Amino acid sequence: MARLIGSLLLVLLLGCGGDPPPEPLAPATATGPVLLVSQKALKSVAWYTLQGELLAETSVSEHPHEIVLSPDGKTLYVTDNGVMQIENAGRGGNKVSIIDMDKRERVDEVDLGEYYRPHGLALCADNTLLVTTENPDQLLIYNFDTRQMRNLPTGGETPHIVQCSNDSKYAYVSNARSRTVAKIQLDSGEHQLVETGDRPEGSTLSDDGSKLYVAHRDADKIVIIDTAKWEVLGEVATGKAPVRCGLTGDEKLISYGLFGGEAIGFASLETMQEIGQIPLAGPAVSLEMMDDGVTATTCAQDQGVCYVVNVPDQKILYTVKTKEGAGPDPALLLE
């Protein structure tokens, strides 16, 4: 009956000289690749099709920043920072939201107590969660088995992004306002500092854990650190204000989001030179490299647009417009 009515309406419209009605949009489904987005301004995490259809959305606490997915893909952890930007004043939030990926719901949280403005986070292989906080400046180590938390100083101001060593013995923390990167022994709390340049932020580890790559927002460069010797091996000059970075699977290329350059940039680690940029709709605030070692995501927060990019080909595969006022930050491509 519904199909018959639709056909009659079409005949009537054509008979009146009007254009035929537009084809209906395909219904949103959970099948196929999905883009998971931390919506900083809307205080939520959302799932989108690559055509920009909103599939689901779950609220978290104030202004989520970084996200990390468990190795089995069943749980998402979100730092609920409480303020939009690192430069904003305010006490901030003190929660890490826990999202059930099957239900697409917030099911639990880690209460950080007296530690506010959580930002970076990383999952270690030994089932501990590392969280950096800006108020006060600390590294938190949360054990899921015991539900106990410890705190350690990072030796610097405004700890930002954190990585966990492959053996779960060390944390590598960017001290954004101190021009240093810290190597912290998680059992003893001892730390080593290396000075790397103005405003170190996003970082990524080589697959074997021997090298740490750190984007420097105010120095326009990627710094490469030897994680054993804890010394700088070299630098790659980039476009303006790189904030996050990721390696291809063969570790021949590194890509990075350019906040000042309003682009995604690419550099060869064989020549240690930038080899290209793709302009975006606005300043890039994120860069996440997917497990395939080829695909990356980046988002322009103020413009509400996220991109899926083939890094070796330096090509945008999908442009995903998020919900009005979302303020997207990191995004993950889920198969």
Average pLDDT over every residue of 191-200: 98
Nearest to 113 by CA among 86, 75, 151, 144: 151
Mean of the per-residue pLDDT values of the chain: 91
| pLDDT of residue 73 exceeding 80 | yes
pLDDT tens for each residue of 79-99: 999 998 888 888 999 999 999
pTM given for the model: 0.90
| pLDDT of residue 21 exceeding 50 | no
| CATH architecture for the domain at 34-334 | 7 Propeller (2.130)
| pLDDT of residue 24 exceeding 50 | no
250's tokens: 């063969």
| pLDDT of residue 143 exceeding 90 | yes
| pLDDT of residue 26 exceeding 60 | no
pLDDT band, very low/low/confident/very high, at 19 (cuts 50, 70, 90): very low
